[in-house]
Structure 1
Amino acid sequence: MASGPRDVWALGGPAEGTGQLVLLHFDGRHWRERPAPEVTWDSKDYERFPALVATGPRDAWIFAAADLAAHHWDGERWSRVPLPDMDYDLGERAGATALAPDDVWLVVGDHAAHWDGRAWTVMRLPAWATSVSASAPDQVWAVGGTSQPLADGNSGSQAATMRWDGRSWQLVPTPEDRTPSKEINHEGRPDGSIPSIMFTQVVVHGPGNVWAIGTRKVFDYEDGRRTTTIILHWDGNAWSWMLDSEEVSAVGSDGADGVIVVGWEAEDGGLTGTVRVAPDGNRTGLPPMTGANRRREVDVSAVSAVPGTRTVYAVGRAYGKKYGPMIARYR
């Protein structure tokens, strides 16, 4: 997570099971370990709960599902801020974003909570949300689906996007995909089931430049479910389809107007094949990692851009003789 060239945070935890958090901070010259809140972190939390958001070196938040609390960093110490009752299932994905110390959003299930510097205010959302992002107090976007996610990750939902205009949350029309499955069932007839679509991430650059990333699941009698990654772009008037790929592992802001897409195959060659997608649909390949074995396998969990720059950080794990955490930087 980066709020500026001299304020980049990296949060790590157990790859499996439970353990303590590890927090690193980059001040523009050096990476240094910072004290992390004393939270027992479950590896599953990375899939269902937001980890870290920050607006500066003296304003960072870590959200933990384990103790149902937010932990705020003021530049000197962490303080625990209890989360409001949002009537959600711990297995549901959640999202958070921050514009200022007194302007923080958390979404989970069909509820959103706003922190004004003193207290949380809970609001009902018009659909189920998994992620939230903002470029201004009246340009806050949440994405998710029209139905509650089920325990197995499926929902039968269509994609949903919502926008906060400073006064209320409104549902924004999103393209539907109700193409019946042509898979032949045990009776020798087309299955006819429709795709299940759920957005899991949103990137907001401005009023006419929003990106929504999610999954499209279709029934497959041989594999059970076949999942692809989809990316849509909002130009201020409507959503348009930008990408439909089975090989995407991480997506994030490119620091300008587009997004960075890391594919699974890119992870086998030092991120070779990572691309930048522009609002007009053009794709530009990024150079592979330097100073590393191009054949080394890496596992990218997230990418984050430094606002207003073309510098992008990728975090995750690297495999081989020197197995362990990885931070890569494009600039």
Structure 2
Amino acid sequence: MSSAKRLATALLATAAFAVTSVGGAQAADTWRQDPAPVASGNVLALTRIDQHTTWAAGFQLTTDGKSSILNPMLLARDDRAGTGWKRIATPADGVASRINALSADGARDVWLVGDNDADAHGPILTEHWDGKSWRTVDAPVPAGTLSAGFLGVAAVSPRDAWAVGWTQRMRGDESYDTGLLEHWDGQAWRQVKLPAGIPDAELYSITATGPRDIWASGVMADGTDQPVVLHYDGRTWTRPTVPGTGLYGEFNTIVAAGPNDVWAAGRTLLDDKDRGHPLVAHYDGHSWKTVPAPGTGVVFAAAPTPGGVAVVGYDKNTGQPYGEQLDGRGWHSLSLPTVGIDSTPYSMTATAHGLVVGGAYNADETSPFQPLLLTANG
């Protein structure tokens, strides 16, 4: 089973696609759709770099006949300016790649990470912002790599960052995927091997509360297709026990409000006919516990909120965006609107005023998908 997160971004990366109308939009009283300065593309990552500024990243899609070209896309919004989202130029704007994730340890330490150039079988694209200028840094890949990419990054300090992702290589006549874990030490990205005894895992997300508290999540690549979380305590990576709730599953995202408040979310399949149920788990400083979430669907992104967590994704059963928030009273629907005839949230961040959600939507059945940017009004 391939990750729902990787599968979704791969589908959006190939070309514009036809969709079926899903009817009227859900209630959207607390949300506004923000215009994006890009005609076609997808917002795969969101983060706050300071108390006023939000960055959104992903890719811009350009179609030329039957072919499609992907280029990295970075947008920014300063809440004080009131001028909406603006395009930010980076050195990699013309590269055939995506920005899959970004992380900020303040406005002077921001990482953007993406894919390698599959045609050239080269290193993975990463970019760093130090508050004044951009630096492009190549991350190495194992010998024989066909394609690779980072799907998550965690900035800890200018000399300390972690990134996770995948590589695709050949074994005989067949290709296979393996997980990828790398560390930035202030000079270069270096591959890190997981300790013996931890089976291979494809890793989709990573978060940090400090240099000695790093969490990564994904799915086991040993044939069991089970969700997995890994933890680094400053010396060793270990695999904590997470209760299983279904036949298969994966954690597409992991976020932390503090060392004793970590959330992982994704999808579980209860049986062979299941199209997906949201999977949410919480770490309280002692152990991981599954937190049953309402509805059906898959969670792509999460954000810690006061007293709990918010999650967003997509529900194939209803053809609607999925969004729920947990607080001391239980789960409450985010009432995400369906923009156009079909929209999917892939990213989210919390601000002092509410939530920002990013993704992609189709205005009609023939137009290419467009960047989705939603802001909660309260």
Name the TM-score, length of structure 2 as normaliser: 0.66
**Residue equivalent to 2:56:** 10
- Which of 321, 325, 330 is the aligned partner of 1:282? 330
- Which of 168, 182, 189 is the aligned partner of 1:113? 182
Q: Any idea what SS the aligned residue of 1:117 has? A: coil
**Residue equivalent to 1:226:** 275
- Which of 224, 229, 247 is the aligned partner of 1:156? 224
Q: Is the 8 A contact 1:274 1:285 kept in 2?
A: yes
Structure 1 residue 167 and structure 2 residue 216: aligned?
Answer: no
- Which of 344, 348, 351 is the aligned partner of 1:299? 344
Relative to structure 1, the CA distance from residue 235 to residue 281 in structure 2 (aligned partners, 3 Å threshold; closer, same or farther) is farther
Task: Provide the C-alpha distance between the structure 2 equivalents of 1:122 and 1:213, rounded to a whole number of angstroms.
Answer: 26
Q: How does 1:1-331 map to 2 (within 5 A)?
A: 1-15=47-61, 17-28=68-79, 29=81, 30=83, 31-36=85-90, 37-42=92-97, 50-67=100-117, 68-86=124-142, 90=147, 94-108=151-165, 109-125=178-194, 126-127=198-199, 128=201, 129-148=203-222, 155-177=223-245, 195-217=247-269, 220=272, 226-243=275-292, 245-262=295-312, 264=314, 274-278=323-327, 282-286=330-334, 297-306=342-351, 309=352, 311-320=354-363, 324-330=370-376, 331=378
Instruction: Mark the runs of 5 or more structure 2 residues left unpaired by the alignment.
Output: 1-46, 118-123, 166-177
Q: Deviations over 1:140-168 (max 9, x none)?
A: 101123325xxxxxx43322211111111
Q: Deviations over 1:30-86 (max 9, x none)?
A: 4332103234345xx57xxx3322233333222221342311223343222121345
**Residue equivalent to 2:22:** none
Q: Is the 8 A contact 2:339 2:363 kept in 1?
A: no
Task: Provide the C-alpha distance between the structure 2 equivalents of 1:256 and 1:310, rounded to a whole number of angstroms.
Answer: 12
Q: Is the 8 A contact 1:261 1:276 kept in 2?
A: yes
**Residue equivalent to 1:182:** none
Task: Provide the C-alpha distance between the structure 2 equivalents of 1:12 and 1:94, rounded to a whole number of angstroms.
Answer: 11
Instruction: Give the alignment's Cα RMSD to 1 decimal.
Output: 3.4
Task: Provide the C-alpha distance between the structure 1 equivalents of 2:339 and 2:230, rounded to a whole number of angstroms.
Answer: 41
Q: Is the 8 A contact 2:113 2:150 kept in 1?
A: no
Q: Shift of residue 263 of structure 1?
A: 5.2
Instruction: Mark the runs of 5 or more structure 1 residues left unpaired by the alignment.
Output: 149-154, 180-194
Match for 1:138: what amino acid?
R
Q: Shift of residue 230 of structure 1?
A: 0.8
Q: How many residue pairs end up in the alignment? A: 293
Task: Provide the C-alpha distance between the structure 1 equivalents of 2:361 and 2:349, rounded to a whole number of angstroms.
Answer: 18
Q: Which consecutive segments of 4 or more residues in structure 1 shift more than 4 A?
A: 86-89, 268-271, 293-297
Q: Any idea what SS the aligned residue of 1:4 has? A: coil
Name the TM-score, length of structure 1 as normaliser: 0.74
Identity %: 25
